Structure 1
Amino acid sequence: MLLNNNQQKSPKRRFLLILGVSAFIAFCCLGLMIIFWDSMLPNMPKTQKTVIGIAIIIYAGLRFSRLLKKDPNEI
């Protein structure tokens, strides 16, 4: 990804991007596992499992949107 004046991202910014995308994928997988995998949390009713799974997926989306937000201090 290139910035406005054709400069590459710093290694720190690139590492944080990779880490953020990995966390997004992990949280989405966790949310989907809670919703669809019957062996996970077997004593919990299906509606509660669905609500918790959706909440985790929404949290992942919020984290990802904050990751993409441009820092105003960055060149």
Structure 2
Amino acid sequence: MLNNIVNNIKKKSLKERFLLVLGILFFLVYLILGLFIIFMKNFPLAIQPNYRIAFGVLLIVYASIRFFRIINDNVN
């Protein structure tokens, strides 16, 4: 499966590879932001801890959805 993904990336145009890198970058941004919101003790916004954790989990779930969409787009 990994060889299939690598071969498909090599076949992509420069624009498609740029969009792939951009998609991976935003996946990492959402993931890190979600973790940052959950684990930061001195969060600059006045949000209750339960809502802050829920928002962080929501960002991590969204990041995982983006990740699986990137994988599915590059397998085919």
* TM-score of the aligned structures, taking structure 2 as reference length: 0.77
Partner residue of 2:50 out of 47, 51, 61: 47
Structure 1 runs (4+) deviating above 2 angstroms are: none
Identical-residue share of aligned pairs (%):
33
Q: Distance in 1 between matches of 2:49 and 2:61?
A: 18
| Counterpart residue type for residue 7 of structure 2 | L
Higher helix share: 2
Q: Cα RMSD over matched residues?
A: 1.9
Q: Secondary structure at the match of 2:7?
A: coil
Q: Distance in 2 between matches of 1:13 and 1:23?
A: 15
**Structure 1 unaligned spans of 5+:** none
Higher RCO (CA < 8 A, seq sep 6+): 2
TM-superposed deviation, 1:38: 1.8
**Structure 2 unaligned spans of 5+:** 1-5
Alignment coverage as a number of residue pairs: 69
Partner residue, 2:28 = 25
Partner residue, 2:19 = 16
Q: Distance in 2 between matches of 1:30 and 1:70?
A: 24
Larger radius of gyration: 1
* TM-score of the aligned structures, taking structure 1 as reference length: 0.78
Q: Secondary structure at the match of 2:11?
A: coil
